[in-house]
Each structure stands twice: as C-alpha cells, then as structure tokens.
Chain A
Amino acid sequence: MADVVKKATRESYGEALAELSTEFEDFVVLDADLAAATKTGVFKKACPERFFDCGIAEANMMGVAAGIASTGRRVFASSFAMFAAGRAFEVVRNSIGYPHLNVNIGATHAGISVGEDGATHQCCEDIALMRTIPGMTIINPADHVEAKAAVRAALELDGPVYMRFGRLAVPIINDEKTYRFEVGKGVTLRDGKDITVIATGLMVNEAVNAAAVLAEEGIDVRVINIHTIKPLDRELVIKAARETGLIVTAEEHSVIGGLGSAVAEAVTEECPVPVIKIGVKDVFGQSGPAAELLKLYGLSAENIADTVRKALKKGK
C-alpha cells in the first residue's frame, strides 16, 4: 500500500474554503487564534478581507457567527473540536441552534488522533454534545474528498452544521471525480451478508481494511460509511440490521453519545439486533504519536476484525 495518498481533513477544509470563495462571494470565516492549525489560514491568504480572527475567545466567536448569519451572510466558525463543541457549547445551542441560523462550524483536531497534545485537547465528546441540539447537522468526513464535499454541502444547507475534521493525515479512499456526497445518506462501501460494520471518519478506512482481511477468512462483511451522523440514514442502518442481523460500529469518539449510540437508538426502536460499539471507552486519552494512540485505544482495523470475529462467535 505504498502508493496510498494521505491528507488530513483539516487541510481539505482550508482548501475547500479557499476554492469556494470565488463561487460564493458573501461568506466569511472566523477563527479563534488557530488559523495555522485549523487551516483556515489557507482561506485567509486567499481572501484576507473575508477572514476575521476572534482571538482566544470561542464563546464570543460563536455568538459573532450567529449575528453575522442573522444578517443573511453565510459564515464558518473554526476552532479545535474541544473548544468549538465543548467550551462554546451553550452559545452554539442558544445563539446558533435555537434560532436555527446558517452557521457552519469547522471543528478540527477532533478525537484521540490529536496525538501529543494529550487529553485536554483530544475531544471525544463533540458528536455527543452536538447531537443533542435540535436541527444541528453533523458531518464527520472519512477523507479529503468527502471533507471537501462536506464543506460545499454545508454552504448550501439551511441551518447550522457541525463539521468534524482531523489533524492526522488519513488515506484518500474516495475518487474526487466520481464521488457523490449527499447530506444524510450513508455510503455502502462493501456489500456483505454476515455482519455490518458501520464506521465514520478515519475509522471508515480501518473498516474497509478489516473487511478485506475478514473476507479472506470467509467472513462476508458489509461496510457502511456514515459521514452524516445527524440526521442519521436510518433507512440504510435498519436495512443492514434486518439483512445482516449484527452490527459493529466504529468511531474515533466516545462510545457514549456518538455514532454507536445513534445506530443503537435507531436499531433498538425498529429492528433490535446486537450493536457492538468500537470507540473510546469512556476514558480520557493521553499524549503520544497518533498512530500509536489509535492502536492503543482499539481504533484499528485489527480491533475491528477481532470484534467482528468475537461477535459472530457469540452469535446473533
């Protein structure tokens, strides 16, 4: 796999903003002193007059974004997931969510793959927090192609959008020329009848790799990429539950409140089958290289494959 091209989705975010700036001339971008890291700096370079640094004041930034949106102007507000969804949560809920304003939140450095900065910056709760806000769309792209498509979709969507991007370079698994992104529609990457792995973000590639290994063992795994966690593609999830009878979810997020919870909530209501959740198991992270941490916390193709084998052994 030496020829795999990798790119961090935060890079895709910055690139997309800059590329879209000519097609959509009204939107502005806010950041909270992290433009170099969130990559909104790419947009800043292209359109300095449309970039506004809010300084280290995320709560105010979200409120400013709401005010801008209230005047009919599209706006992106960026920070690390920890501060965008965590620190500013109540502003996002009350000033953006409640009035259903067109604010696009670009949250980078999500999850444990932040790496060396450690637990204070490894936000594994953001999806859970954002899911509780009525009308909030949550997109967690798997790669560069999907991330760029998500930024465009967010611009064209009515209402607030939370986009989750990563710091770590991840393999580009979609073809930019042919990929069709649709908000709220999951993507079946591999059909299968024995079990379904539903993944999001950087775990999608891990799920694809796990399925390939399992196929050699004669295990037929369906792999679904859920890039839009809210609104969830219930139809696709329920169909998988019905047809394969067993689901494993995989996300770089707490097992509480994220993709796994969303899937389990849907499945228990409409077609109860076992749902086994792979994610950060209600613990804080720690410092270390991202690749090592992902393995340590079980966010790997190997762990997905193991989990699938055990689940099948235990039965449906």
Chain B
Amino acid sequence: MDNAVKKELQVNACKVRMGIIEGVYNAKSGHPGGSLSVADTLTYLYFNKMNIDPSEPKAADRDRLVLSKGHTAPALYSVLANRGYFAADELKNLRHVGSFLQGHPDMKHIPGVDMSTGSLGQGISAACGMALSGKIAGKDYKVYAVLGDGEIEEGQVWEAAMFAAHYKLDNLRAIVDNNGLQIDGRITEVMSPMPITDKFEAFGWHVITVDAHDFDAIDAAFTEADSVKGKPVAIIQHSVKGKGVSFMEDQVGWHGTAPNKEQYDQAMAELNAQLAGLEG
C-alpha cells in the first residue's frame, strides 16, 4: 500500500477511535472494546475499499456492510460520521433519547447503515440475502459482514455459512473480529469457537487470516478476496480488543463499560498524542 494512503488511513482510524470514545463517554454506556478492535478494518473499508457515496447512502449499486456484531455500533457510527454521512457532533448524542444514533445500528434512521442489527448471529444472514439479490440482478456490488468471535457461537451463523457456500456467494466477505474476548471472559474459556479458520474452510469458504491493525495486511487480504471465484470469503482478523487506548487493550472489563471523566481524558490524550505523531 502506498505510504501516503496508509498514513491517511492511520490518521482517519485515530479520529474514528476518538469518535468511539466520545460517543461511549457521552452515552455513559456502550461497547468500546470491540469497537476499537474493529476500527481499523471499518476505516479501511469505508475510506479505501468500498464503492460508496455518502451523498447517496441508498444507491442501488453500492457496496454494503452489515455490522453483525451490532453492539460495536460506536465504531460504525464514528466511521460514517468521519466519512461524511452525518455530522461528527452527532456522536455525542449516541444512545440519547430522541437521537437517531440508537444503541445498535438502525437502518431506518441512520444514513449509511445498510442493515439493522444487534441481536447476534442475524446480520450475516441478511448479508447473505443482499449478496444473493445482487447475484440475481447481475450486479457486481460486494457485501461485507462483520462478526465478533464470540458471536459465531450463535448457531444461525453456521446456517448462514452453509447458505453462502451453497449459493457460491463470492460477492460476500465475512470478517470475524477475533479479539479473543467476550463479555464473560476469554472466548476459549466461555465457549470456544476455535478453530475458526478450519470451521469456515470446512463449510466451503475461502479463508484468509490477517493482522487487524496492519493496513498493508488488511489491504492484501481484501485484494486477495476479490480474486476468489465461486466461494464466499472469510477474513479472520486477529485483533486487540480496546486497541489504541492503553488501559483498555485486551481487558475483558472494557467490553461494555463507558469510561469515566478521568479515563475519558486519558484515552483522548493518548489518541491525540497518536494523531500528533502521525500528522507531525
């Protein structure tokens, strides 16, 4: 990847992380950990990869993204705001009564949200439907479904995995954000979904593993995905929950907890320092 492009992505990802902290802090609730772990990938997709236009969020031929791990809405909202779908100031109203920024993605009221999600395991099925509909229409748009590694404990995910392979949905990419933690603890201790790679392969998917915080690797993975024909593609990304905020990294306690004022200040100071480093 071109260094200037990569730097721009890193800058945007840092701003996206600030938006996540801003939103969750002002909401006094929400899910910062899994939002931060998926921030780089969502930034890459919306700023570099997807065929989208913020001024036409419902364009028929656009690429689509379903945040199947809907609780990490702060990441999606922050990306959408930074990409120009709506004003970044709105992030402060996350989860407030009357705000269009619902706790989980709401396609009816949030520009840029392609599917309402939140109940784990359901988004990937909807993504399959979008991909199938695209195939029927002979359109070449792509559909991205973003899942959590805890989420794939849901049986519906594997019903969808079967469906996508059966109908050869090579316009579908499922991204599994493998940060290793779910609410009750390490995924390997709560209910291990491992080995994730082997499972998707056994279901007939092309599987790519990637470092979720390396834009060169992310770009290579999604480029490889585009060359796959006749199979859906699973991108298993090894990520760090809470990535970018030192005291949140790999801490299960930050799955669904909002920072207090002191923690907010520290998180923003760290992210500002990162941003200054990138822009300096």
| Complex alpha-carbon distance, A68 and B169, angstroms | 13
Interface residues of B in 95-123 (CB under 8 A from A): 106-108, 114-116, 118-119, 121-123
- CB-CB < 8 A to A72: which residues of B? 60
Measured between beta carbons, the chain A residues less than 8 angstroms from B123 are: 63
Q: Name the B residues within 8 Å of A63 (CB-CB).
A: 122-126, 128-129, 156, 160
Residues of B within 8 A of A70 (CB): 107, 114-115, 126, 129-130
Residue ID in chain A nearest B70 by CB atoms: A94
Binding site secondary structure of chain A:
helix
In the complex, what residues of A have CB within 8 A of residue B189's CB?
none
Expressed in whole angstroms, the minimum distance between the Cβ of A219 and any Cβ of chain B is 50
Evaluate contact between A94 and B116: CB separation under 8 angstroms: yes
Given known A99-B107, A99-B116, contact A67–B130 (CB-CB < 8 A): yes
- Given A57-B162, A59-B159, A95-B116, are A64 and B134 also a contact pair (CB < 8 Å)? no
Residues of A within 8 A of B155 (CB): 59
CB-based nearest B residue for A98: B116
Determine which of A60, A69, A98 lies in contact with B163 in the assembled complex, contact meaning CB atoms within 8 Å: A60
B133 lies within 8 A of chain A by Cβ: yes
**B116, A68: Cβ atoms under 8 Å?**
no
Is B132's CB within 8 Å of the partner chain A?
Answer: yes
Secondary structure of the B contact surface, majority rule:
helix
Q: How far is the CB of A27 from chain B (nearest CB, A)?
A: 10
**A57→B118 contact, CB < 8 A:** no
B4 is an interface residue with CB less than 8 A from chain A: no
With contact pairs A72-B60, A73-B133 given, residues A94 and B122 touching in the complex (Cβ less than 8 Å): yes
User: How far, in angstroms, from A70 to B64 measured CA to CA in the complex?
Assistant: 10
What interface size band does chain B fall in? Answer: 20 to 34
A67 touching B125 in the complex, CB below 8 Å, given contacts A28-B136, A73-B133, A91-B156: yes
User: Which A-chain residue is minimally distant from B66 (CB atoms)?
Assistant: A67
Quote the shortest CB–CB distance from A256 to chain B (angstroms): 25
Our pick among B108, B119, B122, B130 for the contact of A68 (Cβ within 8 Å) is B130
Mark contacts of A37-70 with chain B using CB atoms, 8 A cut-off: 1 yes-contact digit, 0 otherwise: 0000000000000101011010111111111111
CB distance from A59 to the nearest CB of B (A): 5
Of chain B, the residue at the smallest CB distance from A99 is B116
Q: Does B36 contact A (CB under 8 A)?
A: no
- B89 to chain A minimum Cβ distance, whole angstroms, is 26
- B114: chain A residues within 8 A (beta carbon): 70
- Does any Cβ of A come within 8 Å of B127's Cβ? yes
Task: For chain B, residues 119 to 155, give those with C-beta under 8 angstroms from any C-beta of chain A.
Answer: 119, 121-134, 136-137, 155
Contact B125 A62 (CB under 8 A): yes
- Name A71's contact: one of B124, B125, B134 (CB within 8 Å): B134
On chain A, the residues within 8 Å of B162 by CB distance are 55, 57, 60
Is A60 in contact with B128, judged by CB distance below 8 angstroms? yes
Does any Cβ of B come within 8 Å of A90's Cβ?
A: yes
- Known contacts: A63-B125, A63-B156, A90-B119. The answer to whether A71 contacts B130 by CB under 8 A is yes
Measured between alpha carbons, how far is A100 from B108 in the docked complex, in Å? Answer: 8
Chain B residue nearest in CB terms to A56: B159
Which residue, B66, B119, B134, has most C-beta atoms of chain A within 10 A?
A: B119
Say how far B63's CB is from chain A's closest CB, in angstroms: 12
A73 cross-chain contacts in B, Cβ below 8 A: 133, 136-137
Chain B residues lying within 8 Å of A64, measured Cβ to Cβ, are: 125-126, 128-129, 132, 160, 163
Q: Is the CB of A65 within 8 A of B129?
A: yes
Q: With a CB–CB cut-off of 8 A, which chain A residues contact B167?
A: 52
In angstroms, Cα B167 to Cα A280, docked, is: 41
Closest Cβ of chain B: how far from A79's Cβ, in Å?
A: 13
- Taking CB atoms, residues of chain A closer than 8 Å to B130 are 67-68, 70-71
Chain A nearest Cβ from B14, distance in angstroms = 32
Contact A91 B122 (CB under 8 A): yes
Q: A99-B116, A100-B108 are in contact. Are A67 and B126 (CB under 8 A)?
A: yes
Smallest CB-CB A-B distances: 6 pairs: A67-B129, A63-B125, A60-B159, A67-B126, A57-B159, A64-B129
Known: A61-B125, A67-B126. 5 other contacts (CB 8 A): A63-B126, A66-B125, A67-B115, A67-B125, A67-B133
A residues within 8 Å of B by Cβ? 28, 50, 52, 54-55, 57, 59-73, 75, 90-91, 94-95, 98-100
Chosen A-B contacts, 23 in total, with CB atoms closer than 8 Å, are A28-B136, A50-B136, A55-B163, A57-B156, A59-B156, A60-B125, A60-B128, A62-B125, A63-B122, A63-B124, A64-B128, A64-B129, A67-B66, A68-B132, A68-B133, A70-B129, A71-B60, A71-B134, A72-B60, A73-B133, A91-B122, A94-B116, A94-B122
